[in-house]
Structure 1
Amino acid sequence: MDAPDVAGTAAALREHRPSLVAAFLASVPPARAAILTRLWGALWREQVLDPRRLGGPPPPVFGPPVRSVLVDGRAFDDPGVLAGALALGPGFRRELDNSVANLALAMTAPPSPFGGLTGAEQSIVDGHPLHPCCRTRIGLSTLDVLAYAPEHHPDVRLRIVETDPARWRTAGVPVPPRFPVHPWQLPRALASGLVRDTGVDVPARPLMSLRTLDVGTGHVKTAVEVQMTSAVRTLSAAAIHNGPLVSDLLAALDPGIVVLREVSAGTVLDDAGRPQRALGAVWRDAPPPDADVLPLALLPHRPDLLTPGFFRDLVGLLLPPLLELLERGVGLEAHGQNTLVEVAAGRPVRVYYRDLGGIHVHPGRLARAGHAMPPLVGALPTGDARALRTKVLASAFATVLSSLVAALGDEGLWGYVAEVAGRCVSAEDRRAVLEEDWPLKATTAMRLAADPLEDRWCPVPNPLRETLR
């Protein structure tokens, strides 16, 4: 599959987009540094190798870029070369090299011409803040990246395909046996023989996730057999089944944040009745079109907006509903892509949450809160309170709030976080939130594991602990 590195990307640009070559080559050094920084942090935190081999002090989770690192007394400035020297596998090196190339290409993009949420999401150039494969797109050529990646602001035409009604499994509000297919995926979908091309196109614009697009009436998540970060972005049968059910559950819980409901979902069955991960779609609500909404991942790049006062207001909006939901049995994976904030007059006024496939639901806590457990399948249901807390702590606390405090350069803000969390957290969760080390997703260890989709975590110091001493 396509996975162009710097040399391959430069060659493609020379042939097809020569005007971008100079800017691309100038962006390669900072892109290498950005990926190297993510890999370096992972090597320290995730026990990928013996830390005695690493030179220098451990880096902060959200620290400045590093241009060179020492391993076994040898200096490295290229993450792919470092991965090769550490024998982390040719596949991982290939992904790092592709990530560097795509990040450098992203750095050449002009500002998004679109307003609203689409423009805000397309303004995020560097992808996952901690994953060294933050811009990996295995399967896409350089021209594909320019044609479909959100940071390049393309207009995308989704193609409507249809299938036989007997093959169609739908959840939530019933939809007819037809659905939109991403144009990159279309030849693969038609080759399955399970769907037919209607010839109808739908104009769309990609959001932060290349495969999720704004179609004007809402957002649609499509299946695209491209590896981005650690996963190939298809749609599991569990995701199709669970999304509308969890939407209904959260509406009943009335959590104090706006949940963008997964209204409908559908997948195609093969001759044996098995759902096909690459043939389906999820239809999701969008925020009001007249609201000024942006993902939390954009805030570290908006110093004009992110002030200590803005941060405190955001903490006051975000933590009470997250911790109340945790007590009642729902652990939201409130990271910077899934969580949005509405801004009015320069202040945060409302929080939105989307993408329900990564949450956990605890039946015992839910029953204690007076709600029945819906018939969820897969990994969403859990009876493990630690797993439930981990979803919230790793995303909202160890990632989002930590990145915002680092961007503001003010560790004193943790005192306000401790104050708000201390008022809202249940006695059952108090110690984990306020005192114990927080979990952080071990993205590199996951990528190198036999099952890269199995969640792995590493501990990071809890800054709230220091404020309570």
Structure 2
Amino acid sequence: MSDAEAALGAELGAVRPDLALPYAAALPGARAAVLARLWRGLTHEPLPWVARRERAGGDGVTLLLADGRRLHGPEVDPYATDAPVEQVWLDGRPYDRPARLMSALAVPHSAAFAAELDHSAASLALSRAGQPAGAGSVVAAPERSWEWEQSVVDGHPFHPNCRSRPGFSAADQLAYGPEHRQVVPLGLAPVDEALVVGEWPERFQDGGRVLVPVHPWQAAHVLKCPPGEVIDAHPLMSLRTLALADGGAHVKTALSARLTSSVRDISGYSIETSAIVSDFMAEVASRTDGLLHVTRTLGAVTAGSPDLAAVLRESPERYADTATGERVVPVAALAATGLPGSPSWLADFSRLALTVCLRLLDLGVALEAHGQNLLVVLSPAGAPVRLVYRDLADIRVSPARLARHGVAAPAMTGRIITDDETTLRRKLFGALITGTLGATAGSTPVLREALAAAVRDVPPTADLATLTEGPVPTKALTLMRLSPERPGDLWAELPTPLR
């Protein structure tokens, strides 16, 4: 075992000795899953130290590095989600562990990234070991949307840091990771001075003070304070957002830990603009003939720090008629339903997603419609009937496009507002094609069949050529982790699956 694997295993032996053997057994598969994500990034992203890539039919792909070394491995389908990579070869030497490969590459910032990869593989093994019948299993048929979210075991389908949770012990992961299905006690921190936007419920007030919901990890490791009064909540896919156990709103908490790529605090900008963006998006969604709903922001609060803030928003279940048997399922959890195995279902879902998202983009709103933010409402028979979108903090809004349709832009400035065509298309297609449709299809051939059936019925727009002609933008997730000096998103280009 590596240092990270051994350390997590030792902690596990102390808190859950019954999982020690399943954890050790899960390590090889977890390493191969993380190596597959890393190898996808190495073969498809614009890394400055890769001079050339050579593909030799069925013999895989060779990366010629700027320093003369050769890195060889299997050919990688950029839209594949279930193709583990057992090993790759650097100058003829095999590597089956992603962290050791990254250390051997010895490129700028590789040491820090190697540590993250090591932790990602160890944490993924722990996530898989904690399942009652193997990775991806569901304890019982889910009834609530938060139960569907907890069926996602492996995390991000393409990010090498799919399960990297630095700073989380084995006990922390078992207590707070949604895949372990525990109830999390959120603290309620009283603050005397706070910026409150929207309606803040009385249950989160104490006289003249505001009670800010605080994640217990944040209370212990960042705020260094006891949680105080607590309320129970179910952790959702993002880990920092939870569904209140009494069936009320979802609460997004600040969590100042690096998960996959980002530190999960809540900026003052997000709090200040939350009501404006929520009201604007509710009006825009009303123009989709009932095909899209957004979970409105009910209230937001900050105590003057991104480390102590929270957002309350509607539950997606509000937009499904559960009494008739409708279900609302996050896209990332669709595999647990078994529905994507049907080509006709996947074509119907692709048609719905493309129709809604392209209509909004033409109107002037680019959604970040990846598998975590986008949910689909299923009929009692399992047909995709409409979409629900949540977490409005990272959409992009074009005043120029809105003006062409006679729609007033929201009264705000900042990073959400842009008329740059490249930025708008990257925001949508970088999430929708790879993170939603590609991850649901699981391979280029399956995705091609679904998209070919869907695009025939999608109203043509100027943006559609990004999909039909390509290239398709996608986040360069590996490059981003190797470029800490370059804040913000970095991008790669993939061939369109339609060609």
TM-score by length of 2: 0.85
Instruction: Please say if residues 475 and 489 of structure 2, whose CA atoms lie closer than 8 Å, have aligned partners that are also in contact.
Output: yes
Contact 2:113 2:482 in 1 (8 A): yes
Residue by residue over 1:51-75, the C-alpha shift from the partner in whole angstroms, topping out at 9 and shown as x without a partner, is 3233145411133111011233221
Deviates more, 1:301-310 or 1:211-220: 301-310
- 1:160 deviation in Å? 1.0
User: Which residue identity is paired with 1:97?
Assistant: D
Return closer, same or farther for 1:18/1:452 CA change in 2, 3 Å cut-off.
farther
Match of 2:435 in 1: 399
Instruction: Specify the alignment match of 2:215 in structure 1.
Output: 182
* Alignment root-mean-square deviation, CA: 2.1
Q: Give the letter for the 1:341 counterpart.
A: V
Q: Does 1:149 align with 2:184?
A: no
Q: 2:157 aligns with which of 129, 145, 148?
A: 129
Asked whether 1:425 is paired with 2:453, we answer no
Q: Which of 380, 384, 388 is equivalent to 1:348?
A: 384
User: 1:380 maps to what in 2?
Assistant: 416
Larger deviation, residues 67-76 vs 47-56: 47-56
Secondary structure of the structure 2 residue equivalent to 1:128:
coil
- The Cα shift of 1:46 comes to 1.1
Residues 99, 232 of structure 1: alpha-carbon distance in 2 compared, 3 angstrom cutoff: same
Q: Give the aligned residue type for 1:44.
A: T
The percent of aligned pairs where both chains have the same amino acid is: 39
Counterpart in the other structure of 2:56: none
Runs of 4+ in 1 over 6 A off after TM superposition: none
Instruction: Tell me: CA distance 1:232–1:4, structure 2 relative to 1, closer, same or farther (3 Å).
Output: farther
The SS at the match of 1:349 is strand
**1:356, 1:149 → 2: CA distance?**
23
User: Which deviations, in whole Å up to 9, do the C-alpha atoms of 1:348-375 show, x marking residues without a partner?
Assistant: 1221111111211111111222222223
What is the distance in 1 between the residues matched to 2:232 and 2:95?
45
Aligned letter for 1:168?
A: A
CA distance, structure 1, for counterparts of residue 261 and residue 345 of structure 2: 33
Whole-angstrom distance in 2 between the partners of 1:150 and 1:233? 16
Which range is displaced more, 248-257 or 171-180?
171-180
Give 1:412 deviation, angstroms: 2.4
Give the conservation status (yes or no) of the 8 Å contact 1:260–1:354: yes
55, 60, 68: which one aligns with 2:77? 60
Quote the offset at 1:389 in angstroms: 1.1
Does residue 1:119 correspond to 2:147, yes or no? yes
Per the TM alignment, residue 132 of structure 1 is displaced from its structure 2 partner at its CA by: 0.3
1:100 to 111, 121, 127: 121
Over 3 Å counting, the alpha-carbon distance change for 1:4 and 1:102 in structure 2 is farther
Q: Which one is further off, 402-411 or 239-248?
A: 402-411
Q: 1-side partners of 2:112 and 2:233: how far apart? A: 33
Shift of 1:157: 0.8
Residue among 85, 91, 103 paired with 1:72: 91
The answer to which of 363-372 and 288-297 deviates more is 288-297
Structure 1 residue 250 and structure 2 residue 278: aligned? no
CA gap of 1:146–1:40, structure 2 versus 1, over 3 A, is same
1:54 to 1:302, Cα distance in 2 relative to 1, 3 A: farther
Q: Deviations over 1:434-463 (max 9, x none)?
A: 212000110111111134641111000012
Q: Which letter does structure 2 place at the counterpart of 1:135?
A: R
In structure 1, which of residues 233, 236, 255 is the aligned counterpart of residue 264 of structure 2? 233
Which one-letter code corresponds to 2:44 in the other structure?
R
Alignment of 1:450-465 (within 5 A): 450-451=484-485, 453-464=487-498
Distance in 2 between residues matched to 1:12 and 1:57, nearest whole Å: 35
* Partner Cα distance (1:279, 1:393) in 2: 33
From 385, 397, 403, the counterpart of 1:361? 397
Q: How many residues align?
A: 448
8 Å contact from structure 2 (residues 72, 88) kept in 1 = yes
- Shift in alpha-carbon separation, 1:144–1:218, aligned structure 2, 3 A: same
Q: Distance in 2 between matches of 1:57 and 1:28?
A: 21
Q: Deviations over 1:308-352 (max 9, x none)?
A: 121122123221121111011100010011111121212112211
- Residue 135 of structure 2 is matched in structure 1 by none
Change (3 A) 1:306 1:283: farther
Shift of 1:424: 2.0
Three-state SS of the structure 2 residue aligned to 1:55 is strand
Query: Shift of the alpha carbon at 1:95?
Result: 0.7
Distance 1:387 1:40 in 2: 26
After superposition, the C-alpha distances for 1:397-435 in whole angstroms (9 at most, x for unaligned) are 133212233359534223113313xx3232x32332321
Residue identity opposite 2:253 in structure 1: T
Report if the CA contact (8 A) 1:299-1:306 is conserved. Answer: no
User: 2:407 aligned to 342, 346, 371, which one?
Assistant: 371
8 Å CA contact 2:249, 2:314 repeated in 1: yes
State the partner residue of 1:11.
Answer: 10
Q: Is the 8 A contact 1:361 1:382 kept in 2?
A: yes
C-alpha deviation, 1:377, in angstroms? 4.0
Distance in 2 separating the partners of 1:182 and 1:168: 18
Cα displacement (A) at 1:191: 4.2
Q: Determine the C-alpha separation between the residues in 1 that align with 2:27 and 2:414.
A: 41
CA offsets, 1:255-299, max 9 Å, x none? 330111122111012xxxxxx000010001112363411111122
AA of the residue aligned to 1:11: A
Other-structure match for 1:315: 350
Counterparts of 1:8 and 1:33 in 2: how far apart (Å)? 20
Matched position secondary structure for 1:158: strand
* Equivalent residue letter for 2:484: A
Q: 2:310 is paired with a residue of what secondary structure?
A: strand
